[in-house]
Amino acid sequence: MNAFAQAPSTRELGISLGGINYKGEIAPKYRFGNNQPAVMVFYRRDISSPVTLRASGLLGGVAATDNYFKLPLNQFRQARLRGTLIELAGGMEYNFMDYYDLRRRIRWTPYFFLNVAGYYVKTKTESSTVGNIINKEDSFFSFSIPIGAGIKYALSKHWNLGLEIGARKIFTDSFDNLDKATPTTLANPHNNDWYFYNGISISYTFYKIECAKIYRGKVTPLQ
C-alpha cells in the first residue's frame, strides 16, 4: 500500500494583519509610515510540492500627505489623500523548499507569488493651501497585478506563521485623483500609481490523504 500511496493534499485557510501603502503623486517614494491598517483572508491549495494556488480578499485604508516630502511640487501642493480599498485576488505561489513534507523536522520556506486582482478604491484628495486648490473625491473598479515574496513557517502540523511583502502594479494614474485632468503644475501625468500590502499571517492546514486509483472502490474482506 505504501508504495502506491500519494502525499497528502492540503487546504489552508488563514488571516493576515498588516498595512496598505501607496506610491504616486503625493508619495513619490515608498514610505513605511504611510501604511494604513488592513486585513486579508486567504485560501491556499497545493497542486504540487512547489506550487500552491491561492485566493484572497483584502480590505484596508489608504493615506498619504505631501508634508513628508520636501520636493518643490509637494510643498506647493500640500495635498492629503485618504480612502478605502477592497481587493479580490487569485493566482499562484512558488515554494522554494518542500514545505508540505511532514517528514521534515522543521518546515519552512521562502516563496514567490504572482496574482491577478480586481479592486475597488474610494479616495478623497484635498489641499491645505490658501484657496484649497485641490478638492477631489472619486471611486472606481479596476485591475492590478500583485507580485511579491514571503516566508512560511510551520508552528505545528496544522498551524502556520507567515510574513509577506507585495506590490500591486495598476494601470491608472487616477488612484490619488491627480491624473491627466489635473493641471501639469500640480501633477505628473506620465507615471501610473502603485499600492502595496505587507502583513503577518496565521493559518490552519487541513490534510487529506489521497489513495492511489487502483485502491479506490476496492474493499478486501477480513480473513
For the chain, the domains span 9-215
- How far, in Å, CA of 158 to CA of 167, rounded? 28
% pLDDT > 90, the chain:
63
Strands 9-23 and 135-154, by their bridges, are unpaired
pLDDT at 100 over 90: no
- Are 65 and 6 in contact by the 8 Å Cβ rule? The answer is no
Beta pairing partners, 205 = 12
CATH number given to 9-215: 2.40.160.20
Q: What is the pLDDT of residue 1?
A: 38
pLDDT at residue 50 in the model: 93
- pLDDT value for 2: 41
Mean pLDDT of all residues in 183-198? 83
In this structure, the number of other CB atoms found within 10 A of the CB of residue 24 comes to 23
- Work out whether the CA dihedral 66, 69, 72, 75 comes out positive or negative: positive
* CB-count exposure of residue 35 (10 Å: 0-12, 13-18, 19+): buried
Phi-psi region of 177 (alpha: psi -120 to 50; beta: other; left: phi over 0): left
Sequence-separated (6 or more) residues with CB below 8 Å from residue 55: 42, 43, 88, 89, 90
What is the pLDDT averaged over residues 109-117? 98
pTM, full prediction: 0.86
Residue 49: pLDDT band (50, 70, 90) is confident
Query: Does 118 have pLDDT greater than 90?
Result: yes
